[in-house]
A and B are shown apart, each in its own frame.
Chain A
Amino acid sequence: EDQVTQSPEALRLQEGESSSLNCSYTVSGLRGLFWYRQDPGKGPEFLFTLYSAGEEKEKERLKATLTKKESFLHITAPKPEDSATYLCAVANSGGYQKVTFGTGTKLQVIP
């Protein structure tokens, strides 16, 4: 069974203070690892897809990286509008379309 563990559960940063969120995963064969952002009362908003170890993707202040066991979401010089819950999810290569989510990291960026 696919498993996703995210850490820390919550993170409080000063504006401009860079940090990283961790996603550890166990999957029989990785078809894709996805990062989403979720604001309160909203649905997950897609950020990145990573397919193989060593791959990196960037968008504004966010950079996602992937190894064979984990993914990191690096946040550089965050702003208060980056405050949200960041979700990691995996899809396995078994021919199925479902994704398995972690519980998320709740990020608060203080001005």
Chain B
Amino acid sequence: EPEVTQTPSHQVTQMGQEVILRCVPISNHLYFYWYRQILGQKVEFLVSFYNNEISEKSEIFDDQFSVERPDGSNFTLKIRSTKLEDSAMYFCASNSGGNQPQHFGDGTRLSIL
């Protein structure tokens, strides 16, 4: 069964540094998403991406964040000038749109020191 893959599984970064999280969505999906989950809290929406542009973003997704689909298979989340409060699990998801469920990867655990 096709799945969403994310790399790395764990990223440790010094505060103030830039980090790029990578995702390979399911190949025939058209919509891509990033969510985050702070330890012990709920999964929160960050951004959705369709047709090479952001279709929706939350208040969390400020100028510190950016997304890109650099080629036909990868989808990335860049966080500039990381802060301690950026420490969380970051999940990538994809679907074919409409009412279809989103399928999630196993996440990248981001630890900011």
Contact = CB atoms under 8 A, between A and B. Distances in A.
Interface residues of B, number: 28
B23 to A, nearest CB: 11
Interface in A32-57: 32, 34, 36, 41-46, 49, 51
B99 interface: yes
Contacts of B28: none
B99 A49 contact: yes
Interface string A66-89: 000000000000000000000101
A32 B56 contact: no
Contact of B106 (A42, A96, A97): A42
A97 B96 CA distance: 10
Interface stretch (B11-19, B42-50, B66-74): B42-50
A99 to B, nearest CB: 6
A36 B6 CA distance: 19
Contact of B42 (A34, A96, A102): A102
Interface residues of A, number: 24
Given A34-B101, A43-B104, A49-B101, A97 B31 contact: yes
B89 to A, nearest CB: 8
Interface string B29-47: 0010100000001111100
B69 to A, nearest CB: 15
Interface of A: 31-32, 34, 36, 41-46, 49, 51, 87, 89, 91, 96-104
Given A97-B55, A98-B58, A101-B44, 8 more contacts: A36-B104, A43-B93, A43-B104, A43-B105, A45-B104, A49-B101, A97-B33, A97-B50
